[in-house]
Amino acid sequence: MSERHAIPKRIRATALAMLLLGFFALPVFAEYGDVILNHRAEQEGMRPVIYPHWFHRIRFRCKVCHNELGFEMRAGANDITMADIIDGKFCGMCHNGQVAWSVENCDICHSGRKGLKTRIMGGHETGGPGRW
């Protein structure tokens, strides 16, 4: 009797741990290169902004944004405000009803979960062991 139970107990604990992990972990599988912009958005009552590189690079080469339009290549380095965008700067250079749909589609840009921090996903902080 006791011999029959000795091993399964440990197995059971492992199995349970695996189950719990499966149910409760909230893994993040964001697409590589997604940028979260949340300097001010959430403080001002909007969801954080998610900018998808994969979607835009199908339509534009890097040089369009990072040379012509002058976006700095560092997550969080561009101090973007909604007023700038409405004025036709940053995202507003395209999201102006001409190159792409215009600013009234708030929820398409402001699409992130609450509490996200400004950063790039899949980048050096997350990929690989430790920092890399």
CB 82 to ligand HEC: min, Å:
4
x/- map, 6-45, another protein, by CB under 8 A: -xx--xx-xxx-xx-xxx-xxxxxxxxxx-x---------
- Cα 114–chain centre separation: 11
d(CA 13, CA 109) in angstroms, rounded, equals 44
Contacts of 60-65 with C-beta under 8 Å, sequence gap 24+, read none
CB 54 to ligand HEC: min, Å:
9
61 is an interface residue for another protein by CB under 8 A = yes
Measured CA to CA in angstroms, residue 47 lies from 39, 69, 90, 113, 124 at distances of 11, 25, 19, 7, 25
Size of the site for another protein (CB under 8 A): 65
Q: Are 75 and 120 in contact (CB under 8 A)?
A: yes
Q: Burial code of 26-47, b = ≥16 C-beta within 10 A, e = fewer?
A: eeeebeebbbbbbbebbeeebb
Which parts of this chain interact with ligand HEC (CB under 6 A)? 35, 37-41, 44, 46, 49, 51-53, 55-57, 59-60, 62, 64-66, 69, 71-78, 80-83, 85, 90-91, 93-95, 99-101, 103-106, 108-110, 120, 123
Contacting residues toward another protein, per CB under 8 A: 3-4, 7-8, 11-12, 14-16, 18-19, 21-23, 25-34, 36, 47, 50, 52-55, 57-64, 66-69, 73, 75, 93-94, 99, 105, 107-108, 111-114, 116, 120-124, 127-128, 131-132
